[in-house]
Structure 1
């Protein structure tokens, strides 16, 4: 195995097994390992992989040899234009899938890629939700365990108090029995004086018996509460175990889904590789067909050009033959003319001179010889040209025969390629069928997973809403109690202020009454003084005038005192009126506050009732969702899917056998049930008043004793 890093990233997996000569050495790695390597390369932070390019090369290998080289073009850096490529070839079991048309399955493959990415995202989100839910349930179970531990401590304390009460009751009963026996023995001796003491003892004994009956009733109530708390604890533990089983089954279903997704991804990669190989071979075959067609077209054009040239040569040979025939005819005519000329010359020899006849004869013979030689040369040239034309026609016939054989061979090759294409189409159809089956199975599993996730999310949402509403109701109740306390404190303060103001008013009224009494006494004294001084003044005054003369000091004193008394009276009256108005305003404000407090109490009670009804509704909805979840599990089991959830009966029965172990174990091994905190709080609300009542009764009995 060798790895080379350059501008491109090349990964070649090879083995030491021999293969046939003339071919590359194959690799002996599994497709899953290559897929994992590609996934690692794709998720590396130094690689930004926009797409994969898969290319394959056929090998003539055995059944156990195959190799895979994956070509990956990825951007090394966004700023710099570096790219990495990984080239590899694949041939599985010595077979190669032939070319097929890419238009048939391109849309399907793109949809499958989108589906696989969506399934991965859904699976990842589902795993994240499960982990979050597991963490929240762990926290809730920790809180529930703390509540259970507190409830156990409270139960132990109650048991201890019950034992103390039992011991005290038995001791009191034994003392009473001993006292009663002693008194019955002394009854004969002290009969007349002990009757009242016996009645008192009987009354005390009756009171003690009543107290003992009350203690028995409280003990019975405490036992019932302890039993109910134990049942609630067992129910909470069973719910915790059931939720743990459901979470474990959900995790198993998620793991199964993950495994199936990985298998589907592997099958998808195989189909994609086969498709790319088939497309590459189809392109090669198309290119080969185009090249052969072009070559055959060029050969046919060349043959046609040769045929045209040969036809031209044949027509020219025919023209030459016609010319040769005309020349032969001319030669024959010339020979006939020469014979005629000779005959005429023989006839004219006698008439002409011998010299002239011989000279003329020589000239004519030379001329005839020249013409004959020229015609013979032309005839030889025409014969040679005719022979060359015949040889070219023979060559053309042989080339036509070769062309016919080549055309027949091309037709056979085309038929063979068509048969091979049909075979590859059948293989592709089989692969498409398998892929469709896998897709249908994956869709069924994803639908079941989505339904289970929706149900789980609804359950968690309902549980969280119930918790939030419970917390809000508790907070509102606390706020209501606090407001009620504040209102009561304010009412007490106002009542205290009213009491103080009333006391002040009473004191002021008393002071006014005392002032009035003193003023009346002063007036009486003044009247008495006036009555005592009037006769003297009247006797001293002249009789005719109707006026009495007084001193300036008396006049100023009387006028100033009256004005001062009037001013003081006006001030006291204004202060009393203002105080009465303030009291009225305070009473109105207190009444308004009391009405507002009552209104808020009524609203809070209405909201608490509404929250209780909503809690009941959410509990009913939760039960309905659980029933739907179990129905979904039943349907999934009927369909043969492995998304198992625990059944109710089996979980309840199995939890009883594991209850003792869960009580003794100190380490939490499962997922916690979120319903236990509210239930234990409810138990607390029920147990604490009874405990206070028991302590109060004990204190009352001690005080009476």
Structure 2
């Protein structure tokens, strides 16, 4: 019998795992194409940034934001790639566990097949022994039947002989009865003759001849009587012998009947044993049929398992190859990301230096403008305070009015640009915060400079006496980094009424509200990216 055992190089294939692996390979292709595009954009941006201009700061910041977004997308793609790799490893582990379970199941089936084969061999041996025993029982039954038939024929022949002898004895008994009756008749005649002789003594002489004849007849009758007696005794002896023979035949007939009953019992026992052996033979045949069916099922299962194990082996090989490809691709992606990080960090350092210089220049120009403004405001405040002592109205020129409006707009624009630049630098340095200690120092320096710019407070524009003289109206100016929202309505009123009537107007800085504005700026620089504009409330 040909046996099929499972091979060790057989693998089961899961269609869902194949689809996942195909989707993962397609995702990697898309990811590599996006990475190549981002690298090309970074190189082009670096070439553009090799000769930056002072008027292109906003475009640089936008490009920095794009680069940061691309880096974030690359990081997300790397994270998704690592997740996909972990999923592939989990699939490989699951396929390995399935392979182990199928191999164990195939081993169990192989053992069951071997056990069924051994049981089949035992059943074959039992069947052969039962067939031999059935043949031997049939042969013994045939010999016993032949012996019984012979003994029955002998008994029949003996009974026939005994019946014939019994019939002959009955005829002899009848003959003996007839002879006995004749002898009795002769005896009665002799007695009658003797009586006649005693009574007829006188007539004896007359009848001598007759007596002689009677005597001769009597002697002959005596002789016949003796012969009859002898024959009767012989017949009696023969009758006794016949009776003995009949007793022997009766005993033999009873013995034959007993033997017949024993033979019937043995025949019944043989028939019951034959029925038991036939039942055992039927059971053995059914066991053989079930074993053959189980063997066919086991062969089919082993064939399917072998195919499944081959598929599993092929899937494991493909998964390992794909895992190797994924590892190589991840290594390449990591190297490329490191290169892009280095390039972006170098370009960011260069742009940071340029931005720092621009900030220093802007800070110096703003300080000069603040000093000039402070001097002008102090002179105008003193003049207006002196004039307010003698009159209730203060007049300002259109140039001052338009100058105030223009300076407010310029201050708002500069503040917005500074806030956006600070937020961009903050995001860049937060992304690069893990790069090293130097970048953190640069971020701290930028934060300190921005705080220094925002915390530049002008001198006291009035003394206590002038403050007491101007209690009615005040024009509140926010910090450089805030917006001028509360002054738009007042400026529109100024446009309609160029001559403002007040007792003593003053121009002051609300230090408390400016402190709140600076706290908001610091919170922006520390990570609150959602708030883009800082408003100063009047």
Shorter-chain TM-score category? 0.3 to 0.5
TM-score (structure 1 length as normaliser)? 0.32
| Larger radius of gyration between Structure 1 and Structure 2 | 2
